[in-house]
Amino acid sequence: MEVIILAGGLGTRLQGVIGDYPKCMAPVNGKPFLAYIFDYLAQQHCVRIILSLGYRHEVVEEWLAKQDLPFVVDCVIEPEPMGTGGGLQLAMRQAAADNVVVLNGDTMFMADLKAQMDCHLQYHSCLTLSLKKMQDFDRYGVVNTNDAGLITSFEEKKHRDSGMINGGVYIINTKAFLLKHLPVKCSFEKDYLERFVKEGKFYGCPSDAYFIDIGIPTDYAQAQTDFKTMFP
């Protein structure tokens, strides 16, 4: 299993808490958030990670050099900020697998990757994303699917009593993605997901696994509490 982690972001909303660290290196109980993602991926039998890095990439690389990891880690560095789509394109060109797992470096969704891959292959999907049921939220958009799991649309953020959100764990067909020839700088969400969803080749895979996005200080603080018991 080959995994791309998008970890090039600045973490603007967290800078008052973590300083100028890249977001994936935000300390959680004395360890970088990225270390916990690695622990999860080791449990999922990952064999190779491609890290898409940008802002202060040297901090991540220095930490990596000191780690003894159960998988190969390769880094792809953005020469300048390229957006999530641009960073993913650079990393995807280094992938060897036909279908690659893609994660965000500031989100932990402990979905069963084998089950998601099985769904992806069953439907011959171009992209299969993890879905998480949420209650009383306004921070995330909603993903709409039909009864077969085919994604029909993505809706903008607004307050909702309940809904299925994009959990940020994707399995993407490498060739199908690169054939779209996206702009060098682009948004994965806007320029790929929302633009091509009507082609009918994206599927959703629901999971009730643990989910947290540390992009805002309150959820970053929650991770400090949660991870004490989850990663003793």
Whole-number Å distance between alpha carbons of 222 and 24: 16
Per-residue model confidence (pLDDT) at position 93: 97
Per-residue model confidence (pLDDT) at position 160: 92
Phi, psi of 183 (to 5 degrees): -55, 155
The closest of 91, 106, 194, 102 to 142, measured between CA atoms, is 194
Per-residue model confidence (pLDDT) at position 41: 97
Per-residue model confidence (pLDDT) at position 88: 97
What is the distance in angstroms between the CA of the first residue and the CA of the last residue of the chain? 26
Whole-number Å distance between alpha carbons of 217 and 15: 9
What's the per-residue H, E or C state across the chain? CEEEEEECCCCHHHHHHHCCCCHHHCEECCEEHHHHHHHHHHHCCCCEEEEEECCCHHHHHHHHCCCCCCCEEEEEECCCCCHHHHHHHHHHCCCCCCEEEEEECCEEECCCHHHHHHHHHHCCCCEEEEEEEEEEECCCCEEEECCCCEEEEEECCCCEEEEEEEEEEEEEEHHHHHCCCCCCCCCHHHHHHHHHHHHCCEEEEECCCCEEECCCHHHHHHHHHHHHHHCC
Q: CB neighbours (10 Å) of residue 180?
A: 14
- Report pLDDT digits (tens) over 61-85: 999 999 999 999 999 999 999 999 9
Whole-number Å distance between alpha carbons of 168 and 130: 7
Instruction: For tokens 């003793």, name the residue.
Output: 232
Whole-number Å distance between alpha carbons of 166 and 141: 8
From first to last of its 232 residues, the chain has per-residue pLDDT tens of 999 999 987 666 676 677 778 889 999 999 999 999 999 999 999 999 999 999 889 999 999 999 999 999 999 999 999 999 999 999 999 999 999 999 999 999 999 999 999 999 999 999 999 999 999 998 899 999 999 999 999 999 889 999 999 999 999 999 999 999 999 999 999 999 999 999 999 999 999 999 999 988 999 999 999 999 998 7
Per-residue model confidence (pLDDT) at position 35: 97
Per-residue model confidence (pLDDT) at position 16: 66
Per-residue model confidence (pLDDT) at position 13: 65
- Cβ-count burial of 21 within 10 angstroms (0-12 exposed, 13-18 middle, 19+ buried)? buried
**Residues whose CB falls within 8 Å of the CB of residue 228, separated by 6 or more in sequence, listed in order:** 29
Domains contained in the chain, CATH given: 2-230 (3.90.550.10)
Q: Cα separations (Å) of 210 from 18, 90, 126, 160?
A: 23, 29, 25, 20
